[in-house]
Amino acid sequence: MTGPIHTLSAIELTDAFRRRDLSPVEVLDATLARIEEVNPKINAIYHIDRVGAAQQAEASERRWREGAPCGFLDGVVTTIKDALETNGMPAHRGSAAGSGVVHSSDHPTVARMRDAGSVILGKNTMCDYGILAAGVSSYHGVTRNPWDLSCTTGASSSGAAASVCAGIEPLSIGTDIVGSIRLPASYCGLAGHKPSYGRVPYVFQGSPVLVAGPLARSFTDVALHMNVLTGVDARDFSALPREDVDYVAELSRFDPTGKRALVISEMGIGEPVSEDVANATLRAGEALRGLGVSVNRLKTPPFERGEWASAELFYMVRTLSELSQNPEVDQRKTPVIFDWTRRALNLCATDHHANFVATQLLRERALNLISGYDFVILPSTPTTAFQAELPGSDPDQIFESWANTFLFNLTEQPASSVPVGLDRAGLPIGVQIVGQRYDDVGVLGLSFALEQVVERLNAPQL
């Protein structure tokens, strides 16, 4: 082993199991101890199944002893996002509106984790309905960033990101409808990948922008997780075939030489980019140039700040629809969402369609950015993590924190967030790499290549 158990990657753990330097039962015990140590500070885990996890770890230990692991993650402990159905475990979607549901089946991503041998220990927190750019939940409370407990983790995969960052687990499943993989990856200094739409099966598939994907501390583990999560599922009409891709092997095969990238330090559509984030994005472009990538810079922002407004209204209606399934007395238990969605009550059907059309026009303009290029490089988030208790970096404009990410949900393109250093306050900065539609292999390859040449972040001390 190369360090304490809580610092090991998923690949390092399975290698240790193979050598019998560690056992899955030992890792589970260390994980439970780590939760006791750090979870009171960060509030990332809300449910633990000690008995079930112990049974899974013991079964994994037997398989390793017999030299017959059942998958890539056999014995690796993980927790599951509140949004994802997990057999026998409660889910709240981050909201105090309505009671929690105990599911009797697994989401496809959870089922694949089980099939790969992962020890599913419990559930992690998320913000209300997955639509806030902060780790603020009316049910779970505030989830905090291990880099600075006064700061947010960001977005709905808040518990997953905080847990991975704090060393509770080496990787976790995130979901992303407007940026909830990339935004917390950026704020927490993690490797995060939003796959192409359909690359990872999702049930119920209620939106052509909703995906699930990996959050980890390195792109090697992200690729390993993609080996587990991807492939067709008969329950998801959008699911893409796996095509026998070994994402881990593809990382070392990827050659950046001659690839073309457009660097955009300021998108213009949301909050203005900070100087530290803009400079980090430009440095990432120069690092890629040093790897043989042909890099051009777009100096004029391609959008204007208020252009996210129609998209906000479109997603507001979606959130109102979910909230409205509860009696008003329960709706008021999630005050941020309740207040934010009031404006949607005044919209008529033609307004909603007009906002949909405006959102699709944003989609076309965002997709055109990559014309003539293999990749677009831009900040994952215009600024670093903001105050933990706030619902967005600007409490009066809570949707605009998504501006750099939601566009590439609309376009269905794969996009990763790569940690590229710290700002002057000591908070992580993430740079987003967006690829051509369906080129997850290329995005992960370039992300891995950039990860190798930028300054690696040491884990925060808790």
pLDDT single digits (tens) 18-30 = 999 999 999 999 9
Angle subtended at Cα 214 by Cα 212 and Cα 216, rounded to the nearest 5 degrees: 155
Residue ranges of domains in the chain: 5-453
pLDDT tens digits, residue range 135-194?
999 999 999 999 999 999 998 999 999 999 999 999 999 999 999 999 999 999 999 999
Spell out the long-range contacts of 51-57 with Cβ–Cβ below 8 A and sequence spacing 24 or more. 52/88, 52/120, 53/28, 53/77, 53/119, 53/120, 53/121, 53/122, 54/25, 54/28, 56/24, 56/119, 56/120, 57/24, 57/25, 57/27, 57/28, 57/119
pLDDT tens digits, residue range 250-273?
999 999 999 999 999 999 998 999
User: Average of pLDDT values for 45-64?
Assistant: 98
User: Average of pLDDT values for 426-434?
Assistant: 98
- 282: amino acid identity, one letter: L
Contacts of 181 (CB under 8 A, 6+ apart): 155, 157, 174, 175, 192, 193, 194, 211, 213, 214, 215, 417
User: What confidence score (pLDDT) does residue 7 get?
Assistant: 96
Tracing tokens 């030992």 back to the chain, one arrives at 26
pLDDT of 99 over the 80 cut:
no
> Closest Cα partner for 174 from 218, 166, 391, 164?
164
Q: Which of 95-104, 145-154, 417-426 is the least confident region? A: 95-104
pLDDT of 375 over the 80 cut:
yes
pLDDT cut 70: percent of the chain above it: 100
User: What confidence score (pLDDT) does residue 205 get?
Assistant: 82
User: Average of pLDDT values for 360-376?
Assistant: 97
Beta bridge partners of 214: 173
Q: 148 phi and psi, to 5 degrees?
A: -160, 110
- For helices 219-229 and 10-19, the axis angle rounded to 10 degrees is 80
Spell out the long-range contacts of 363-370 with Cβ–Cβ below 8 A and sequence spacing 24 or more. 363/407, 363/410, 363/411, 365/302, 365/303, 366/407, 366/408, 366/410, 366/411, 367/411, 367/413, 369/262, 369/264, 369/298, 369/302, 370/262, 370/413, 370/434, 370/435, 370/436
CB atoms within 10 A of CB 387: 13
With respect to CATH, is domain 5-453 assigned 3.90.1300.10? Answer: yes
8-state DSSP, 45:
E
User: What confidence score (pLDDT) does residue 187 get?
Assistant: 98
User: What confidence score (pLDDT) does residue 284 get?
Assistant: 98
Higher pLDDT, 459 or 310: 310
Q: Which of 57-66, 163-172, 241-250 is the least confident region? A: 241-250
Beta bridge partners of 419: 430
Contacts of 210 (CB under 8 A, 6+ apart): 175, 176, 177, 202, 409
User: What confidence score (pLDDT) does residue 301 get?
Assistant: 97
pLDDT of 364 over the 60 cut:
yes
User: What confidence score (pLDDT) does residue 456 get?
Assistant: 82
Buried b / exposed e along 35-64 (16+ C-beta atoms within 10 A): beebbeebbbbbbbbeebbbebbeebbebb
pLDDT of 1 over the 80 cut:
no
Query: Mean pLDDT, the chain, as a whole number?
Result: 96
User: Average of pLDDT values for 42-57?
Assistant: 98
Q: What does R_g of the chain's alpha carbons equal in angstroms? A: 21
User: What confidence score (pLDDT) does residue 321 get?
Assistant: 94
pTM, rounded to two decimals:
0.97
8-state DSSP, 116:
T
Contact 144, 162 (CB under 8 A): yes
Spatial distance between the Cα atoms of 120 and 139, rounded to a whole number of angstroms: 22
User: What confidence score (pLDDT) does residue 207 get?
Assistant: 84
